[in-house]
């Protein structure tokens, strides 16, 4: 049987995709809008998508579709419940960014704890050139050694971040975020982590239960000297509350690689900030050359496994 594969947003993956080892046709599109989805997948048996949404209305019009292969770890762009009802399998990518995302996290932390952007801006304004001594101390500098890292999310990326944090001499605490969950020796309550940590790093999926996991109440619980890092999903944090927290000094800083809506064509309160203690990067923590190629290879592995009858990395 010939499988018909369609990649809806090929431009989101800058890596080589090998040809699947089974009989197939292949079509790809740089990007796909919602109103183009059904027409492009009309004959598809396998859809590949990174960020192009597949919702119930579209799925109802695609009776031939058997598999949605998500070219990412997060799969909230797919209506999983509708897929389950229609017998459509969904698979995702796992453990491909175990080095690149933690490294990006540490880069953000170091830049913020050492106030690199503030000092760079001072030099560009001529502050150093006007000094009477060899240096100046306009912004506080904090070491990572001896400080506490709070991690929300204990998967591969959370564990990879923890390993780097420990290498810097940090004390690591994993937060328990599931209400009523059985006690686990390696987890402490979220409220305790928020109160104790000098750095909070988010590494959990975006679900109805985790949306706005960090809001005004949680930001108020953090130390005024703490920083918040989010390389996971923008919706985990109430972004308006974070903008207020940074502007009013509830916390010392934040480093984000994600926003609730991407690209942020309708604006976002975090885009309005012009603060040296806030760093925003355009969802590139995952995107090292090596990581993208590992993702591309696993994407085809997932599809080949499904066609062989031994599916892997299924989410439904």
Q: In the annotation, is 283 catalytic?
A: yes
Instruction: Count Cβ atoms below 10 Å from residue 232 Cβ, excluding itself.
Output: 29
Q: In the annotation, is 248 catalytic?
A: no
Q: Which of 103, 283, 304, 308 is catalytic?
A: 283
Which of 308, 316, 286, 268 has the alpha carbon at shortest distance from 50? Answer: 286
What DSSP designation does 71 have? S
Cβ proximity of 8 and 33 under 8 Å: no
Pairing of strands 89-91, 148-152: unpaired
Burial category of 24 from C-beta neighbours within 10 Å (exposed 0-12, middle 13-18, buried 19 and up): middle
Cβ proximity of 114 and 138 under 8 Å: no
- Within 8 A by CB and 6+ apart from 307, the residues are 3, 20, 22
Phi, psi of 28 (to 5 degrees): -140, 150
Q: Which of 166, 233, 304, 308 is catalytic?
A: 233
Q: In the annotation, is 18 catalytic?
A: no
- Strands, E, within 65-170: which ranges? 67-70, 89-91, 148-152
Q: Which of 57, 262, 272, 304 is catalytic?
A: 262
The residues with which 148 forms a beta bridge, in sequence order, are 171
Which of 82, 77, 76 has the alpha carbon at shortest distance from 57? Answer: 82
State the catalytic residues.
233, 262, 283
């Amino acid at each position: 049987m010939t499988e018909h594969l369609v990649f809806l947003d090929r431009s989101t993956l800058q890596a080589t995709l090998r040809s699947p080892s089974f009989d197939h046709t292949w079509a790809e599109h740089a990007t796909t809008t919602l109103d183009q989805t059904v027409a492009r997948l009309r004959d598809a048996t396998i859809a590949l998508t990174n960020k192009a949404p597949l919702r119930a209305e579209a799925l109802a019009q695609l009776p031939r579709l058997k598999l949605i292969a998500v070219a990412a770890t997060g799969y909230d762009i797919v209506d999983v419940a509708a897929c389950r009802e229609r017998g459509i399998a969904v698979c995702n990518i796992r453990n491909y960014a175990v080095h690149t995302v933690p490294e990006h996290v540490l880069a953000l932390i170091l830049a913020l704890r050492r106030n690199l952007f503030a000092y760079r801006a001072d030099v560009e304004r001529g502050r150093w050139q006007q000094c009477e001594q060899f240096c100046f101390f306009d912004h506080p500098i904090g070491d990572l050694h001896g400080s506490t890292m709070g991690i929300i999310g204990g998967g591969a990326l959370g564990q990879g971040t923890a390993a780097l944090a420990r290498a810097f001499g940090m004390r690591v605490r994993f937060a328990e975020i599931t209400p009523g969950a059985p006690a686990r020796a390696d987890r402490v309550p979220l409220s305790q982590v928020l109160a104790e940590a000098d750095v909070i790093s988010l590494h959990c999926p975006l679900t109805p239960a985790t949306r706005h996991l960090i809001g005004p109440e949680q930001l108020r619980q953090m130390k005024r000297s703490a920083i918040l890092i989010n390389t996971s999903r923008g919706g985990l944090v109430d972004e308006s509350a974070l903008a207020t927290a940074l502007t009013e000094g509830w916390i010392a800083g934040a480093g984000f690689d994600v926003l609730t809506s991407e690209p942020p064509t309708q604006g976002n309160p975090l885009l309005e900030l012009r603060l040296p203690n806030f760093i925003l990067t355009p969802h590139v923590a995952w995107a090292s050359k090596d990581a993208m190629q590992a993702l591309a290879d696993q994407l085809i592995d997932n599809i080949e496994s499904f066609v062989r009858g031994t599916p892997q990395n299924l989410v439904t």
